């Protein structure tokens, strides 16, 4: 099992943070190229990217559920149980890829035409999504293997995978967006092809590490078939709430951006700037979130409940320190951060105003996410889904009032982030306190 010293926690979390940073580099690279190609391409990739991420949350949710289940098997020292979770998760992801590909190809054109007021933008978004949907097939392998590595704390391989994806994406963006040498000038479609190709290259690397690596020596992931109806149900019991949790969160954010687009002017463009830069702040939070799930699940599986509060406090302290280190620029030099994705002077000024307003919400998220991920690590994912529903309900109600009823300026509309993060943190904290009262398992002090 993993050691809970600060050094050990960082050993697990740092590669995930760097992986998150690299994923942000991919998004920022696409944004930087497309913002210099055309405003339509930039807006379409940003809006369609939200749709893509929303659907991709199916894989993330199921992968997170498998990570938790496999980490608990590690704590229980149950190698065959680990393999059963892995194999069942892969089969579920294949079914998901088929379903989502059909959804994008058959249903999204009509939905996009209905929701997006600009017809040219709607067509561009659909073109982007049709290409990106092929990445779902890479995700079936990538997410399956990544979940197993996270469950045992082998996060360095996940980091290397992200490096491969980022480097290949930058190269492909460079040659396909503007057309370099023999390659045609493809613009928005070029960016979509670049990102999809990069994900397949990363998938091939992960598959190679699993085939030739040591994990299969400890856990018989390929030796025999461990898939059963019972195991499938157990995977879905943990993974489905996380799946819907991610879909709900991203769907609400997508609606938020649709409403911003309907405000007119450059509000969508400056808000997309925030979306890209925002992910820089999430780097340490997501890195420690992955570590939290693995640590809590392993120690819960081993029935060492008294260590769980210690793990929480140490990860919260590390999260705050890294947030201050990596995202202090949102207060002191937000214009420099915005210029990473856009060089339009007016857009930079308006985006910087928003960034200053929302900066405090990130710190709240960093603290609250540890409580939420603790609940996930315990396997109580139905409650994390309930927390998500409560937080997003208050979020979308607030957004509706700010945008549709009160017509606030765009920088004040973004105060909805505080509504979401405060609700999420307080609800998770309250649930953990409640567990202490009804059980003898100490999960929070």
Tell me the H-state helices in 107-226.
108-115, 119-132, 135-152, 155-176, 188-212, 215-218
| pLDDT surpassing 90 at residue 384 | yes
343 in a structural domain: yes
**Does residue 111 register a pLDDT over 90?**
no
pTM over 0.75: yes
Contact 144, 89 (CB under 8 A): yes
- Taking the CA atoms of residue 413, residue 414, residue 420 and residue 423 in that order, the dihedral angle to the nearest 10 degrees is -70
- Closest Cα to residue 222, out of 231, 212, 232? 212
Token pair, residue 157, equals: 């391989």
Residue 445 inside a domain? The answer is no
Q: Per-residue pLDDT for 442 more than 80? A: no
Mean pLDDT of 373-379: 92
Residue 5: pLDDT over 90: yes
State how far the Cα of 365 lies from the Cα of 359, in Å rounded to an integer.
Answer: 10
Task: Give yes or no for residue 14 having a pLDDT over 80.
Answer: yes
Q: Tell me the range of 165-169, 182-186, 367-371 where mean pLDDT is highest.
A: 367-371
As given in the structure block, the two tokens for residue 147 are 């979940």
Supply the range of the domain harboring residue 175.
6-438
Can you tell me the distance from the alpha carbon of 169 to that of 27, in angstroms, rounded to the nearest whole number? 10
Cα(123)–Cα(120) distance, rounded to whole angstroms? 5
- The stretch 302-308 carries a mean pLDDT of 89
| Mean predicted confidence (pLDDT) in 425-436 | 88
For residue 53, give both structure tokens. Answer: 């991420």
State the pLDDT at residue 204. Answer: 95
Q: The tokens 């769980």 sit on which residue? A: 308
Mean pLDDT across 321-327: 88
Separation between Cα atoms, residue 283 and residue 21, nearest integer Å: 6
| pLDDT above 70: percentage of residues in the chain | 96
| Per-residue model confidence (pLDDT) at position 398 | 97
pLDDT at 439: 61
Does the structure show a pLDDT above 90 at 42?
Answer: no
206 within 8 A of 146, measured Cβ to Cβ = yes
Cα 21 to Cα 297: distance, rounded to the nearest angstrom:
25
pLDDT bin (cut points 50, 70, 90) of residue 264 is confident
Instruction: Answer yes or no: is 275 within a domain.
Output: yes
Average pLDDT, the chain: 87
* Mean pLDDT in residue range 303-322: 92
Q: Please indicate, yes or no, if residue 443 is contained in any of the structural domains.
A: no
Question: What is the C-alpha separation between 140 and 91, in angstroms, rounded?
Answer: 8
Examine residue 257 and state whether it is found in any structural domain, yes or no: yes
Write down the pLDDT at residue 440.
57
User: CA separation (Å) from 98 to 101, 126, 239?
Assistant: 5, 18, 18
Q: Is residue 19 over pLDDT 90?
A: no
What angle (nearest 5°) sits at the alpha carbon of residue 245, between those of residues 242 and 250? 130
Amino acid 444: pLDDT = 52
| Residue 127 belongs to some domain of the structure | yes
Q: Which of 88, 81, 127, 138 is nearest to 105 (CA)?
A: 127
Task: Tell me if residue 443 falls in helix, strand or coil.
Answer: coil
Report how many domains make up the chain: 1
In a domain? residue 444:
no
Give mean pLDDT, residues 191-200.
90
Task: Give the C-alpha separation, 213 to 14, whole Å.
Answer: 22
Q: Is residue 1 part of a domain?
A: no
What is the total residue count of the chain? 445
């Amino acid at each position: 099992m993993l050691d809970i010293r600060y050094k050990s926690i960082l050993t697990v979390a740092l590669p995930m943070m760097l992986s998150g940073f690299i994923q942000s580099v991919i998004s920022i690279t696409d944004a930087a190229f497309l913002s210099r190609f055309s405003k339509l391409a930039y807006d379409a990739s940003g809006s369609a990217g939200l749709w893509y991420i929303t659907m991709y949350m199916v894989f993330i949710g199921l992968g997170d559920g498998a990570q938790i289940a496999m980490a608990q098997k590690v704590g229980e020292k149950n190698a065959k149980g680990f393999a059963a979770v892995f194999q069942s998760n892969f089969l579920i992801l294949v079914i998901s890829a088929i379903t989502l590909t059909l959804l994008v190809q058959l249903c999204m054109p009509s939905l996009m035409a209905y929701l997006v007021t600009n017809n040219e933008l709607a067509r561009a978004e659909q073109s982007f999504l049709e290409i990106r949907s092929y990445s779902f097939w890479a995700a079936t392998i990538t997410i399956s293997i990544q979940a197993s590595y996270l469950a045992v704390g082998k996060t360095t391989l996940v980091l290397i995978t992200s490096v491969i994806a980022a480097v290949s994406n930058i190269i492909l963006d460079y040659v396909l967006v503007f057309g370099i040498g023999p390659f045609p000038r493809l613009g928005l479609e070029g960016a979509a092809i670049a990102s999809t190709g990069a994900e397949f290259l990363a998938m091939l690397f992960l598959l190679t590490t699993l085939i030739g690596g040591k994990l299969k020596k400890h856990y018989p992931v390929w030796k025999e078939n461990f898939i059963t109806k019972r195991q499938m149900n157990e995977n879905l019991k943990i993974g489905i709430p996380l799946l819907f949790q991610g879909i709900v969160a991203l769907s609400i954010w997508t609606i938020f951006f649709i409403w911003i687009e309907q405000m007119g002017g450059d509000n969508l463009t400056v808000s997309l700037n925030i979306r890209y830069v925002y992910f820089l702040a999430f780097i340490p939070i997501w890195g420690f979130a992955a570590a939290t799930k693995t640590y809590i699940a392993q120690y819960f599986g081993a029935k060492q409940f008294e260590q769980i509060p210690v793990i929480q406090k140490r990860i919260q302290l590390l999260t705050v320190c890294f947030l201050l280190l990596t995202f202090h620029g949102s207060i002191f030099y937000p214009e420099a951060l915005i210029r990473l994705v856009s060089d339009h002077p007016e857009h930079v000024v308006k985006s910087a105003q928003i960034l200053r307003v929302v900066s405090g919400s990130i710190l709240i998220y960093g603290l609250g996410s540890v409580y939420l991920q603790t609940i996930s690590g315990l396997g109580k994912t139905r409650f994390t889904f309930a927390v998500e529903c409560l937080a997003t309900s208050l979020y979308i109600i607030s957004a509706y009032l700010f945008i549709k009823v009160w017509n606030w300026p765009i920088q004040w509309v973004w105060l909805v982030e505080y509504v979401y993060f405060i609700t999420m943190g307080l609800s998770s904290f309250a649930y953990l306190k409640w567990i202490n009262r009804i059980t003898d398992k100490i999960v929070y002090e």
